[in-house]
Chains A and B, each alone.
Chain A
């Protein structure tokens, strides 16, 4: 992984993913390690994403690194009409690694081709968000003790949710059984389903949520966004069909855990928060360890 960019979760083999997760576990035990020792990491957020940016910057500072960059395109030279290529080439002069978030699909791959330092994709439009995927995998492994042979249920917007797409594709390497719960309008795209079929894995699609809860090791919740529906009436029909409340977890497995990439709106009732099976806030913390691991591995420090 040394000096290699991470643009898409498919860039890493199963072994490389497992290696990152092992290093992340070391950081969880000892988060403050002065490995970067004053090295400079650029954090280029061409669109705002407070959660992801703070997670990366926290990871960098816990390792003794310095951050340069910007948190929205409005405060960068993009506003003056500079091309992405020029911005990246310039920033390469000032940093050892670039973390980049950009609203355009494929921008991270392009940046990795022009850059002289490695790029970590922190989200490129609707395309990829591989560090979210790694932290999801870390959370699953940590709560289940393994990534192999699990039954994973995805709920909500499976059509547009890029975290869902990346995680489904990554889990295809671990003999997962998939339960896919969504309104008909927001089913998992066939391009993603193709990965499940090619891996010869089992999947089932549901429009009703409650029946799959007892079969799930992991329930991965997502937000259904109003703007995804051309007809507001259609949204009104489904918006309350995929809400998880505490009583629904009565028949869930002992080892079952609830994940959510956050931010949550109303799809998980707050009465679930105090249930030991709720894991979404710890999941966000795991993101810091995974990002520390990734930065350390790419810079050859671990």
Chain B
């Protein structure tokens, strides 16, 4: 499969960001955490697309949008294989993989309803850990681990 064919599946954008190599089953979670439902820019997405590297993948293209560090941290937590491609005037100007942060503060919620961060006005704080290959957030306060499927972001 060549690149031209891919562009036919999901339209090209003139300026903005392409998030590629999203695990196919995480596409909608990435859309949710980036709050793209509320975006007033052009957003294209596709999933279960063929990928040489990963078998099946998801992709999102967002016009006029470039991501800040706290947003790429969120993407890394649910889609660690993702690649960010910055497009300016139809040209790829930067391609980067996302880095899984060691710590995350304020961006995610603790899944434990009895955690102090869900009961009092306390900003969340997590250490990012890997258990049997899966990324989890270890809460600094209640010491419970939030798994990828339970991750909810502010």
> CB within 8 Å of B: which residues of A?
8, 83-85, 103-107, 109-110, 125-128, 190-191, 194
A83–B121 CB distance below 8 A: yes
- Asked if B91 is at the interface of the complex by the 8 Å CB criterion, the answer is no
Give Cα A109–Cα B122 distance, bound, in whole angstroms. 11
Give A104 to B115 CA distance when docked, in angstroms: 6
Contact B142 A125 (CB under 8 A): yes
Query: Nearest-CB distance from B114 to chain A (Å)?
Result: 5
Give the shortest distance, in Å, between B3 (CB) and chain A (any CB): 44
- A106 x B143 contact (CB < 8 A): yes
Q: A84-B116, A125-B114, A194-B131 are in contact. Are A106 and B142 (CB under 8 A)?
A: yes
- What CA separation (Å) do A115 and B144 show in the bound complex? 23
Q: Which 6 A-B pairs have the closest CB atoms?
A: A106-B141, A105-B142, A106-B142, A106-B116, A107-B116, A110-B116
- Residues of B with C-beta under 8 A to A194: 131
Pick from B114, B141, B143, B144: contact of A110, CB below 8 A.
B141
Find out whether the CB atom of B116 lies under 8 angstroms from the CB atom of A105.
yes
Chain B contacts of A83 at CB under 8 A?
A: 120-121
Contact B140 A109 (CB under 8 A): yes
Report the minimum CB–CB distance from A172 to chain B (whole Å): 16
What residues on B are CB-neighbors of A107 within 8 Å? 116, 119-120, 141
**How far is it, in angstroms, between the C-alpha of A110 and the C-alpha of B110 when the chains are bound?**
14
CB < 8 Å: which of A110, A126, A128, A190 contacts B122? A110
**For the complex, what is the distance from the CA of A113 to the CA of B116, rounded to whole Å?**
13
Contacts of A126 in B (CB 8 A): 114
Q: How far is the CB of A254 from chain B (nearest CB, A)?
A: 38
B145 with A110: CB separation less than 8 A? no
B85 on the A face (CB < 8 A): no
**Contact yes or no, B142 A127, CB < 8 A:** yes
Say how far B108's CB is from chain A's closest CB, in angstroms: 15
Does B79 count as interface, using CB distance less than 8 angstroms?
no
- Are B145 and A106 in contact, CB atoms less than 8 angstroms apart? no
Interface residue ranges, B against A (CB under 8 Å): 112, 114-117, 119-122, 131, 139-145
Given the complex of chains A and B, what is the CA–CA distance between A85 and B121 in angstroms?
9
5 sample A-B contacts, Cβ–Cβ < 8 Å, listed by A number: A104-B116, A105-B116, A105-B144, A106-B117, A109-B140
CB–CB A127/B143 < 8 A: yes
Contacts of A85 in B (CB 8 A): 120-121
Given known contacts A104-B114, A104-B115, A109-B141, what 16 new A-B pairs fall within 8 Å (CB)?
A83-B120, A85-B120, A85-B121, A104-B120, A105-B114, A105-B141, A105-B142, A106-B141, A106-B143, A107-B116, A109-B116, A110-B116, A110-B122, A110-B141, A125-B142, A126-B114
Q: How far is the CA of A111 from the CA of B121 in the complex (A)?
A: 12
CB distance from A213 to the nearest CB of B (A): 32
- In the assembled complex, which residues on chain B have CB atoms less than 8 Å from the CB atom of A191? 131, 145
CB distance from A249 to the nearest CB of B (A): 35
B131 touches A105 (CB 8 A): no
Q: Smallest distance from the beta carbon of B9 to chain A beta carbons, Å?
A: 41
Give the complex CA separation of A232 and B51 in angstroms: 50
Q: Which residues of A contact B139 (CB under 8 A)?
A: 106
Bound form: Cα–Cα A302–B143 in Å:
31
Complex Cα spacing A106 to B141, Å: 4
Contacts of B142 in A (CB 8 A): 105-106, 125, 127
Given A83-B121, A104-B119, the answer on whether A128 and B143 have CB atoms closer than 8 Å is yes
Q: A8 to B142, alpha carbons, bound, how many Å?
A: 10
Bound-state Cα–Cα, A274 to B32, Å: 62
Q: Is the CB of A105 within 8 A of B120?
A: no
Tell me the bound Cα distance from A191 to B132 in angstroms. Answer: 11
CB pair A8 B143 closer than 8 Å: yes
Nearest CB in chain A: distance from B121 CB, A: 7
For B121, list chain A residues within 8 Å (CB): 83, 85
Contacts of B114 in A (CB 8 A): 103-105, 125-126
